[in-house]
Amino acid sequence: MLRYKCILLDHDDTIVESTMQIHYPAFLETLRTLRPEEDPISIIDFVSTCYHPGFMGLCAKYEFDEDEMVEEYAIWKKYTRAHTPQAYPGIREILLKFRNEGGKIVVISHSESTEINRDYRHNFGFEPDLVFGWELGEEKRKPNPYPIDQTLRLLGLRSEDCIMIDDLKLGLTMVRQRDIPFVAAGWSHFIDEIRDALKKDADHYCTRVEELDEILFLK
């Protein structure tokens, strides 16, 4: 039996292992193309900066202009189209169980809906009920609560019907505006700063995917 009617899910490094496979290599290519004089950014600095202040803050650090942001996007898109990341072990079973018991699955991510739907078809054999991705634009993507408000409206739900699972702070900031509980996807964390901050602020911190079973389902 379900504790919640709807899971609001981040995608990258919450459901699929994509930073190491896609986003970090894509950004290294961006730097080689646009800032060849710069040393490569380390994976620690890349993930830490994407945690705070966020990916746009990372781009601002390198002072990419408008034309360079177009080039950055093209490089990233090339990588996302060419690679389908694998889901974390155990995620498939959790999502299928939740869906089979009538729950709704909504993805709120900074990836784009085309690739998110592809990843779900590949890893799980279905597409989410709703997807709110990068293509929404900055004013509507998380941490703006627009995706939550649309989810509640389109699916006829209330805030108390939902729970959010995310590996980073943006999801937490978003749901705190709508009083929705937050689960930190600690199975992807390897940086103490991020792990400690989310352990402090999240309603639940999971180091293993299997811990979701107790949070999402009534025994």
| Residue 154 confidence (pLDDT) | 98
Model pLDDT, residue 54: 85
pLDDT of residue 45: 95
Same-domain pairing of 155 and 212: yes
Q: Is 73 found in the same domain as 142?
A: no
Per-residue pLDDT of the chain (219 residues; tens, 9 = 90+): 999 999 999 999 999 999 998 999 999 999 999 999 999 999 999 999 988 888 889 999 999 999 999 999 999 999 999 999 999 999 999 999 999 999 999 999 999 999 999 999 999 999 999 999 999 998 999 999 999 999 999 999 999 999 999 999 999 999 999 999 999 999 999 999 999 999 999 999 999 999 999 999 997
Contacts of 29 (CB under 8 A, 6+ apart): 75, 79
How much is the pLDDT for 53? 86
Q: Confirm whether 182 is domain-assigned.
A: yes
Number of domain units in the chain: 2
Q: What is the per-residue pLDDT for 219?
A: 77
- Let me know whether 117 and 169 are in one domain: yes
**28 and 58 both lie in a single domain:** yes
- DSSP secondary structure string for all residues of the chain: -BS-SEEEE--BTTTB--IIIIIHHHHHHHHHHH-TTSPPPPHHHHHHHHHTT-HHHHHHHTT--HHHHHHHHHHHHHHHHH--PPBPTTHHHHHHHHHHTT-EEEEE-SS-HHHHHHHHHHHHSS--SEEE-GGG-TTTSTTSSHHHHHHHHHHT--GGGEEEEESSHHHHHHHHTTT--EEEEGGG---HHHHHHHHHH-SEEESSGGGHHHHHB--
Is residue 72, in this structure, part of any structural domain at all?
yes
What global pTM score does this model have?
Answer: 0.93
Domain region containing 40: 19-82
Q: Find out whether 132 and 107 touch, Cβ atoms under 8 Å.
A: yes
Q: Say yes or no: 111 and 170 in one domain.
A: yes
Q: Quick one: 137 and 171 in the same domain? A: yes
108 shares its domain with 196: yes
Say if residue 62 is in the same domain as residue 128: no
Distance CA 212, CA 18 (A): 20
Per-residue confidence (pLDDT) for residue 1, from 0 to 100: 94
Residue 165 in any domain: the answer is yes
Q: Do 133 and 37 belong together in one domain?
A: no
Residues 151 and 172 in one domain: yes
